[in-house]
Homo-oligomer: A and B are copies of this chain.
Amino acid sequence: MGNTANGLINRPILASIHTEAFRHNLNRVRELAPESKIWSVIKARAYGHSFDAALKGLASTDGFALLDIHDAVWLRERGWKGRILLLEGLFHENELVLTHELACDLVVHCEAQVEWLEKFKVNTHTPINVFLKMNTGMNRLGFKPDSYRTVFHRLHAIGYHMHHMTHFANADQVDHPPSVGAQLELFEETIAGLEGSTSLANSAAILWHRNALGDWVRPGIMLYGASPTGLFSDIEHAHLKPVMQLSSEIIDIQALEKGERIGYGGRYEAPEAMRIGIIACGYADGYPRQAKDGTPVWVNDGAKNGGGIICPIVGRVSMDMLTIDLRDAPNARIGSKVELWGEKVPVDTVAQMSDTIGYELICALAPRVPVQIV
């Protein structure tokens, strides 16, 4: 059941995905990490942007990194001949034949995965690339340094092409342990003398820890034009472009008198007579229910130069609608276009007003929102 059955789009909400912004952001990664190859991270339907758009916009990447083997199947069916990295490797032993046929590179992070690979008869004509994951302080996936070299040698000895990988816990901030420096030092000490390429840097490291890039960088959030820290101010001068624009329209206007309240719980009370715009976008579209009063929405109020005005949210976001203060937009009317996030309203600003980060919002774009790739 799609939103464009019969060619008819009825609810005016739309997510536009700008493939040119993908290209721009990928080039920006190349500028920042000119010596490295790039795993473009496209898990979670390319962070909510659709795989179609990612394949189109990021076609010049060296490889795609993702989670689900089905997404690797799809990439191969769509003709992608470059590298594919399964970021969490195998979930079950029975996936090994298929991943081999698909020529996927595998992350290996736990003993069970090592044993599955040991049982598998490696064809030396089409070797398997393994990115062995070291836990240097993230304490999520991977082998601690004291067991890492042993595992490396077990797989190396039977013909796997071995590479080294770790993940930073705090590349986006300086005041929490473990530091990038500490993790990097542990990583380099542990792999000393071992062959194989390295992969370390996420977006935050690419932007702010240029000493920790390694042979393959793994940009995720920066490809989508959002901030690794969740704060737009941190990437304001990083020359990234937002890829997703979420837009909708005003579908109704209420004239409130002083003292009247809006929506569930009556959170907002009109301080004077005022117009309220009702927007066709709610938390069941992926807009955060936690958005506070004051969260910005851009409204095209009819200015001829395409200009518009920021109007603040007033009242609690409901499932299918949200409400904005139109006092500064006297020309706004039913049918006026609005941007919920995109170029005019950074997704990280909406996230910040909702106590989360842009990552969560773009990933949470709901299936009912039509996606247009431009």
Contact = CB atoms under 8 A, between A and B. Distances in A.
Which of A139, A172, A319 has the most chain B CB within a 10 Å cutoff?
Answer: A139
Interface stretch (A62-70, A121-129, A206-214, A232-240): A62-70
A368 B334 CA distance: 35
Contacts of A68: 3, 10-11, 368
Contacts of A364: 283-284, 286, 364, 366
Contact of A44 (B92, B170, B319, B363): B319
Instruction: Name the 3 nearest CB pairs between A and B, nearest first.
Output: A44-B284, A5-B70, A284-B363
B320 A88 contact: yes
Residue among A4, A289, A315 with the highest chain B CB neighbour number at 10 A: A289
Contact of A319 (B43, B73, B261, B356): B43
Interface string A263-306: 11110000000001010100110100110000000000000000
A94 interface: yes
Interface stretch (A21-29, A249-257, A342-350): A249-257
Contacts of A80: none
Instruction: Classify the secondary structure of A's interface with B.
Output: loop
Given A110-B334, A266-B177, A359-B283, A254 B10 contact: no
A141 interface: yes
A192 interface: no
A328 interface: no
A262 interface: yes
Task: State which size class the interface on A falls in.
Answer: 35 or more
A95 to B, nearest CB: 6
A170 B289 contact: no
Interface of A: 1-6, 8, 10-12, 43-45, 47, 51, 67-71, 73-74, 87-88, 90-92, 94-95, 98, 109-110, 112, 135, 137-141, 169-170, 172-173, 176-178, 251-254, 256, 260-266, 276, 278, 280, 283-284, 286, 289-290, 315, 318-321, 323, 334, 355-357, 359-360, 363-364, 366-368
A336 to B, nearest CB: 13
Nearest to A317: B360
Contacts of A140: 252, 254, 262-263, 278, 318, 321, 323
Question: Assembly of this chain: how many copies?
Answer: 2
B319 A139 contact: no
A200 to B, nearest CB: 15
5 contacts: A10-B68, A44-B368, A139-B256, A169-B263, A177-B266
Nearest to A69: B10
A202 to B, nearest CB: 10
A177 B268 CA distance: 11
Contacts of A251: 88, 91, 110, 141
A135 B257 CA distance: 13
Contact of A360 (B6, B95, B252, B289): B289
A138 to B, nearest CB: 6
